[in-house]
A and B are shown apart, each in its own frame.
Chain A
Amino acid sequence: MQVPAPFAYERATSVEHAIALLGELGPEARVVAGGHSLIPMMKLRLARPDALVDINGLGAELAQIRVDGDELVIGSLARHADLLGSAVAGEHFPIFHDAEKVIADPVVRNFGTVGGSLCQADPAEDLAAVFAALDGVATVRGPAGVRQVRVRELHVGPYETVLAPDELMLELRVAIRPGGGSAYEKVERRVGDYPVAAAGAVIWLDGDTVRDVGIGLTAVGAAHFAAPEAEAALRGQPATEESFRAAAQLAAEHCNPSADQRGPVDYKRHLAAELTTRALRRAAARARGQEA
């Protein structure tokens, strides 16, 4: 039987209470939301927190998905199924629905959360690549108040973020700009597995020219899950298959995949290029209103 090592358990009744509890319990305490990454790691003793602060009761404050002005706002406690089912998220950023369809499986998606996925900082996390492509910003609150952290600056390394032990992620914000399209492409060995590789793209067109672009990559060792070299090369270029392939090649060259049971380095680099091309192609088609 796999059971976590003993820990203290506290249930937060408000955001302020959660932050106070994290402060009291010290740096070895962890927030638990869906727990679908953390609890398996605790069973295997890959994580061994002294205490858990359960925030599942904070749904009214933290699980909303809404448009606020010209930003899409996704609460950190929104479940994967909520994001997949959110018409407003899909209307502005179909990349969310592309990705959520292939994150874990439908039952896991009922409980796993958006904020939990990002804070777990798994190097193969899909949503990290999605928010990197979209250049999303996390609102984080600690005892000293609220601060904003770009998702591109959130992850320090595998399973490590810039959040202090007593900070809580409240929500994620993505700017809604007209003329854009987005898409996510993933290769996985079977349903529910981590990606072998995956790429997300968001693209804004001026006619047939790429006005702006964001590219996210996961499971291939891309720094901060992003491909800034490819983005820079593609801005201002014609939105053609040739430009997409050239940018995708740059993305593949600048990532740093590791060989593991999901495949060798060459294969993953090949996937990085191919999936980036496909994501750009589909994002551009959507920006032109050619594909739903």
Chain B
Amino acid sequence: MEVTINLNGTPETHEVEPRLLLVHFIREKAGLRGTHWGCDTSNCGTCVVWLDGKPVKSCTVLAAMADGRSVRTVEGLEQGGQLDPVQEGFMECHGLQCGFCTPGMLMTARALLDDNPDPTETEIREAISGQLCRCTGYENIVRSVRWAAEKEQGGPVTESETPAEVTA
């Protein structure tokens, strides 16, 4: 069947089997590898993308179910060469180590801040509770999201305890 998905503002049309999962449409058909494919059981959340503006686990949605709809992936966060504040926050506060969970975390964080621009630590932890990170212990992810919230609020952006500049 033919499926057309508006992917980060660009229509992507491909001939697919009905059983193709959205995550594989994004990665294999459209070639956007930013969205990671993890547990395959809707537990880990690294495959989170937005479907018509809401975060969903793309390993548990058929590409066919997204036909005619809009999908935003981690590649769609940056606008005109400017990183999204949540991406900056993850850099500033060392919100990632291996980076595997990061695309899903970023998409959920962006949705949270759109809905609730000044979330508490508890609200951030609740928002990402369906996503797994094996590196950070979540502490730095929470800080990263707070950093983005404060930047967007125009308030003081707190210095994180981890060095802002991390060399490879």
Cα(A117)–Cα(B134), bound, Å? 30
The answer to whether A36 and B18 have CB atoms under 8 Å apart is no
The answer to whether B65 and A107 have CB atoms under 8 Å apart is no
B5 contacts A by Cβ under 8 Å: no
Smallest beta-carbon distance A127→chain B, Å: 18
Q: How large is the interface on B (under 10, 10 to 19, 20 to 34, 35 or more residues)?
A: 20 to 34
Binds A, one of B52-60, B73-81, B153-161: B52-60
B167 contacts A by Cβ under 8 Å: no
The answer to whether A32 and B65 have CB atoms under 8 Å apart is yes
Per a CB cutoff under 8 Å, which of A3, A9, A81, A105 touches B21? Answer: A3
The answer to whether B18 and A111 have CB atoms under 8 Å apart is no
Cα(A81)–Cα(B127), bound, Å? 12
Per a CB cutoff under 8 Å, which of A4, A40, A52, A107 touches B130? Answer: A107
The answer to whether B19 and A7 have CB atoms under 8 Å apart is yes
The answer to whether B62 and A107 have CB atoms under 8 Å apart is no
B41 contacts A by Cβ under 8 Å: yes
The answer to whether A54 and B57 have CB atoms under 8 Å apart is no
B120 contacts A by Cβ under 8 Å: no
Give residues 31-77 of A contacting B (CB, 8 Å). Answer: 32, 35-36, 39-40, 43, 52, 54, 56
Which residues of chain B are near A40, meaning CB under 8 Å? 41-42, 60
The total of Cβ contacts below 8 Å across the A-B interface reads 84
Smallest beta-carbon distance A125→chain B, Å: 16
Smallest beta-carbon distance B69→chain A, Å: 9
Binds A, one of B43-51, B93-101, B141-149: B43-51
Given contacts A39-B62, A106-B126, contact A7 B18 (CB under 8 A): yes
The answer to whether A110 and B60 have CB atoms under 8 Å apart is no
B166 contacts A by Cβ under 8 Å: no
B61 contacts A by Cβ under 8 Å: yes
B168 contacts A by Cβ under 8 Å: no
The answer to whether B129 and A56 have CB atoms under 8 Å apart is no
A6 contacts B by Cβ under 8 Å: yes
Which residues of chain A are near B45, meaning CB under 8 Å? 105, 107
A158 contacts B by Cβ under 8 Å: no
B131 contacts A by Cβ under 8 Å: yes
Cα(A247)–Cα(B164), bound, Å? 59
1/0 contact string of B116-149 vs chain A (CB within 8 Å): 0000000000110111000000000000000000
The answer to whether B18 and A108 have CB atoms under 8 Å apart is no
A292 contacts B by Cβ under 8 Å: no
Which residues of chain B are near A149, meaning CB under 8 Å? none
Cα(A32)–Cα(B66), bound, Å? 13
The answer to whether A8 and B18 have CB atoms under 8 Å apart is yes
A290 contacts B by Cβ under 8 Å: no
The answer to whether B129 and A111 have CB atoms under 8 Å apart is no
Cα(A87)–Cα(B61), bound, Å? 28
Which residues of chain B are near A191, meaning CB under 8 Å? 129-130
Give residues 1-31 of B contacting A (CB, 8 Å). Answer: 1, 17-21, 24
Smallest beta-carbon distance A9→chain B, Å: 3
Per a CB cutoff under 8 Å, which of A6, A9, A105 touches B129? Answer: A105
Smallest beta-carbon distance A207→chain B, Å: 38
Closest B residue by C-beta to A10: B18
The answer to whether A108 and B130 have CB atoms under 8 Å apart is yes
Cα(A36)–Cα(B41), bound, Å? 9
The answer to whether B65 and A192 have CB atoms under 8 Å apart is no
Which positions in A face B, CB cutoff 8 Å?
Answer: 1-9, 11, 32, 35-36, 39-40, 43, 52, 54, 56, 81, 104-108, 110-111, 191-192
Identify the 7 closest CB pairs spanning chains A and B, nearest first.
Answer: A105-B130, A9-B18, A191-B129, A2-B40, A110-B54, A4-B19, A107-B130
A sample of 30 cross-chain residue pairs with beta-carbon separation below 8 angstroms, ordered by A number, consists of A1-B24, A2-B40, A3-B20, A3-B24, A5-B19, A6-B17, A6-B19, A9-B1, A9-B64, A11-B67, A32-B62, A35-B60, A35-B62, A36-B60, A39-B21, A40-B41, A40-B42, A43-B41, A54-B64, A81-B54, A105-B129, A105-B130, A105-B131, A106-B55, A106-B108, A108-B57, A110-B55, A110-B56, A111-B51, A192-B129
